[in-house]
Amino acid sequence: MFDTPLTALIVGAGFAGIAAAIKLKEAGISDFTIAEKTGGLSGTWYDNVYPGAACDVPSHLYSYSFALNPNWSRRFSPSDEIREYVEDVVERYGLGKHIRAHTEILSAEFDETTALWHAKTKDGDIITARFLIASVAILGTPKLPDIDGMADFKGAQFHSASWDKSVHLEGKRIAIIGSAASTVQIAPVVAKTCSEVSIFQRTPNWVIPRADRAYSKFEKTMFARLPGAMQLTRLAMYLYLELMFYRVFKGQGLIHKYVGGMANRLRKRKIKDPELRAKLTPDYPIGCKRVLLSDDYYDTINRDNVELVTDGIARISKVGVLLESGREIAVDIIAYATGFQATEFLPHLDLTGVGGAKLASWRKNPKAHKGLVIPKMPNAFFLLGPNTGLGHASMILMIEAQIPYMVNMMQAVPDGQYFTVKPDAVKAYNDKIQAKLKTSIWATSCQSWYKTKDGDIPTLWPYPVYTYKSMMRRVDMAEYDIRG
């Protein structure tokens, strides 16, 4: 337990938590701690070490605007390179002394009389701070399927986000259950090593070309010596995604048709077998689910040692996967590429706010103000909270829009006092967001991780990024109560 309360406790050392720490230091706030449950940095990119793991956002846009990197090896960098980038940023900004590794925050309770948060770690330590900053990734809690017999399987099995690197793949038979974003990265790599690859697909996905390539030595030298060239590259990527790709999710118009046509042409060109092509053809509009980027997934499907399985799974057996048709596929390894608990925000964090308010109760209908502040959770910020997810651009842009707003809020609250957001402000904001979402492609009939079981969409931001950045430029203190 700290003798003197911290100004801020940051939960998580991913991109958001590291950016928050840098901007706190720049604002003259240095008494903060970053509690990280693992032994490493970069959050998602420290956890995800599956074969082929990489970002779907171009590298120069998936980096801090204040810490550009001229040395990206590719247009879409692999996970270990992203992790190394974050490690370099932490060293460059002297954040090492602020990071407390292997420190998982399980709960925190706000004391209204002292205006302090008291957070409890898994080891039983208490950390006290004026402000609580949660920066836990929305795609940070793996979701395992509920399939009978999983405990009976005698081989190796794991979620893609908890990949067991000690398991050798050479000559093995592997089942990949799921066919979305992780699978299109995993399958092309493991198919070169494993003797048999069975991909279990429930719903086909829209796939468009990734257009990935390595940066040349000349390009990297130019980025290093001419920072303006790197900034222009980043700007071009941003404008392309904002002005073109965003319009895919409007569900209509020429760009929506063009990108859908691009995906159809890719599938037709790569998959010659009409029966297989039909299995890979979605029956819902492009953009309703996450659009996948890959240059080699369809090539992988065509390999002799790869099978696309679309029959339903009855159960997991001791030796493999039993289908509803009665066929059993024997495998040595099962990888569950089944996504994350995206609509269950901070599922492992137990928070108690003013009046005994519980975060667990809030999760049943998660609404935040500007995706950052939760009702009855005083002096607390939830970076990349509800309705800040993007289907078209870099989440770093959203993080960098949120943090200056957060710092301004912290500076506006006197010592010994705390803020709470007014319910009317939260309602007005969310009514507008949800009304816009109802007109989007995401609200159509397909099922996706964007939605709850009731069809609500608490995950995505329905406007371009620049709209969010503009909204977050100033704090309207009339939307908040200051007490204490």
What confidence tens digit (pLDDT) does each residue in 197-252 have? 999 999 999 999 999 999 999 999 999 999 999 999 999 999 999 988 888 887 77
Residues 6+ apart with CB under 8 A from 78: 52, 53, 54
Closest to 338 in 3D by CA, of 178, 164, 450, 456: 178
Q: Is the pLDDT of residue 3 over 70?
A: no
Residue 86 has pLDDT above 80, yes or no: yes
* Euclidean distance between CA atoms 110 and 360, whole angstroms: 15
The residue among 456 and 65 whose pLDDT is bigger is: 65
Contact 21, 65 (CB under 8 A): no
DSSP notation for 379-419: TEEETT-TT-B-SSS-HHHHHHHHHHHHHHHHHHSPTT-EE
Residue extent(s) of CATH 3.50.50.60 domains in the chain: 6-141+341-483, 150-206+293-336
| pLDDT of 29 above 60 | yes
Task: Report the pLDDT averaged over residues 457-462.
Answer: 94
How far apart (Å, rounded) are the C-alpha atoms in residues 130 and 110? 9
- Whether 1 shows a pLDDT value over 80: the answer reads no
> Across the chain, what does the average pLDDT equal?
95
Distance of CA 169 to the CA centre of its chain: 27
CATH topology of domain 150-206+293-336: FAD/NAD(P)-binding domain (3.50.50)
CA quadruple 111, 141, 368, 6: dihedral, nearest 10: 30
Angle at 165 between CA 160 and CA 167, to 5 degrees: 100
Q: In the CATH hierarchy, which top-level class contains the domain 6-141+341-483? A: alpha beta
Query: Which pLDDT tens digit goes with each residue over 349-384?
Result: 999 999 999 999 999 999 999 999 999 999 999 999
Q: What is the pLDDT of residues 379-420, one digit of tens each?
A: 999 999 999 999 899 999 999 999 999 999 999 999 999 999
Does 2 score more than 60 pLDDT? no
pLDDT of residue 426: 98
